[in-house]
Amino acid sequence: MRRLAGLLVVPLLLLSTAACGDDSGSDSAQMKNGAPAITTGAKFGEKPTLSKGKGEPPKELKVVTISEGDGPVLKKGDVAQVNYYGQVWDGKEPFDESFSKAKTFDVSIGAGMVIKGWDQGLEGQKVGSRVELVIPPELGYGAQGSGEKIKANATLVFVVDIVKGASVPASATGKEVAQDNKDLPKVGTNTDGKEPSVTVPKDTAEPAKLVANYILEGDGAVVKDVDQVVVKFNGKTWKDDKSFESTYTSDATVIWPMDQLSVKGLKEGIIGKKVGSRVLLVIPPDMGFGDKEQGSIPAKSTLVFSLDILAVM
């Protein structure tokens, strides 16, 4: 398990190409529709290259649809898996791209986990589309820039392929299951999208074996070991009853590929459960992080999770 990191980060303003001024007369071999032209790899799925931007970059977000997919429209709260190629306006080489990595990048739309230009530019796009985003500094990395390749006040240009997408509910909404074992943590059953309470019993021995119990039992598909699962969770350590990580602090979801999940107790606790469920997981040290300290998690900790299984990709 790794902490979700923000790469790129959302007002609801969506600017289409037409909304960004008159582009007549701006096209050339170097430019197309007022944005740097794709020079190779023009089709969806192909690794693109971009020409250098010509003239002054747009002052507002520009969204150019290169090819429109036939999938569902992405809305705030949805998750998407994308490939991207990023270059600064006056650059000739990418500062980052995912096409060569054989792994898509996960985005929670409108959650503020990426730069604002991405959140605004991807909302409203169809799954299966290729879009080009020209992002002004205030919707990118601003005056601080990012690393050596993205200087202060840089305009960014991205080609983004929206490979997959899923609509994600705010909460698990399954049938409530009795929590009648007083020796196990109690988990809240609210379905309003707010963080469920998790209360670890005091003066009670930690379970020696994995606990994976339904709190709310959904009626969706059973999670398989090849699935990519969209979840919200609150993770605690049993001993001090303190949260070490929660997706609710950022109101975001995470996508966990089951075949890459390194925490054995998480993987075994989720596989076989139904989408739409809330699950209590109590993970003993030998199925968690063992005798290794992990950030704020002490060595040999028993882990407690309230986990909503919201969708599979």
Q: What is the DSSP string of 166-177?
A: E---SS---EE-
For 11, 93, 128, 133, the CA distances from 66, given in Å and listed in that order, are 24, 20, 11, 10
Strand partners, 246: 234
- Contact indicator for 139, 121 with CB cutoff of 8 Å: no
pLDDT digits (tens, 9 = 90+) for 217-250: 999 999 999 999 999 999 999 999 999 999 998 8
> For a pLDDT cut of 70, what percent of the chain falls above it?
91
> What pTM does this model have?
0.75
Nearby residues of 240 by Cβ (< 8 Å), 6 or more positions away: none
pLDDT digits (tens, 9 = 90+) for 112-150: 889 999 999 999 999 999 999 999 999 999 999 999 999
Q: Which amino acid is at 87?
A: Q
Q: What is the mean pLDDT of residues 16-34?
A: 51
pLDDT digits (tens, 9 = 90+) for 72-90: 999 988 999 999 999 999 9
pLDDT of residue 69: 97
- Grade residue 28 by pLDDT with cuts at 50, 70 and 90: low
- Contact indicator for 148, 91 with CB cutoff of 8 Å: no
- Grade residue 111 by pLDDT with cuts at 50, 70 and 90: confident
Residue 217 is encoded by which pair of tokens?
């039992």
Is residue 12 scored above 60 in pLDDT? Answer: no
